[in-house]
Amino acid sequence: MELDEIIGEDGLKIAFLKKYASVAEALKARGFVVREEGERFIALSPTSYAISRTQARLSPLDFLEFFKTMEVWNGFKKLEAEHEVIHVEPKRPLIMHFRVSASERRLVEFAAKQYLLDLSEYIRMCVTENAVEAFIRARKQKETGLV
């Protein structure tokens, strides 16, 4: 399965002007799918992510302008850490339930507290991280002909 197929038409997308080529490069280097469409770049991601000003290689003013002009589809954007980081989050319309024992719940609550996250944010982070790693590993194995 390719990343485009996984993300789908309803996936998280950002669009930004071609003058921000340094952002496109930074995202490509991190494994994002980045397409060129007319005067803009379109970057796709299956999950939330952050772009820092240093990664984007932009001045504080340009970074602010980049934030204001970028468009987010199927999600939203936030400017954080004193305008140094842009956080992009997808809409999350799908609800999933699973069951835990009392001690599993205590254990996960303890870990979430260490990361200053709520329970569902922490679980989503753990699970999504592992799924993304598994996907990247499988893609690398395919590329190197190991599978």
Partner 1 sequence: MRVMIPAKYRDVVAHLRDGSGILYRLKEYDDHYELEVLTSLSFDRIALGLTERKLGRFYRDVEVVGGSKKKGRDHIVFEPKRPFKVTIRFAEGELSLIKDAARKKGATLAEFIRFHAVDGAFELARGERHGIG
- Report the interface residues with partner 1, using CB under 8 A: 1, 6-8, 10-12, 45-47, 74-75, 90-108, 110-112, 114, 119-120, 122-124, 126-128, 130-132, 134-135, 138
Q: Which is nearer to partner 1, 63 or 90 (CB)?
A: 90
Q: Which is nearer to partner 1, 9 or 39 (CB)?
A: 9
Number of other residues whose CB lies within 10 A of the CB of residue 146: 9
CB 94, min distance to partner 1, A: 5
Dihedral sign, Cα of residue 30, residue 85, residue 19, residue 14? positive
On the CB side of 4, CA atoms within 13 Å amount to 4
Q: 15 forms bridges with which residues in the sheet?
A: 42, 71
Q: Which is nearer to partner 1, 53 or 90 (CB)?
A: 90
First to last CA, the chain: 14
Q: Which is nearer to partner 1, 33 or 51 (CB)?
A: 33
How many residues can be counted in the chain?
Answer: 147
CB 142, min distance to partner 1, A: 13
CB 70, min distance to partner 1, A: 18
Find out whether 40 and 73 touch, Cβ atoms under 8 Å: no
CA atoms of 83 and 139, how far apart (whole Å): 34
CB 133, min distance to partner 1, A: 9
To which H or E segment does residue 63 belong?
A: helix 60-69
Q: Which is nearer to partner 1, 68 or 97 (CB)?
A: 97
CB 18, min distance to partner 1, A: 25
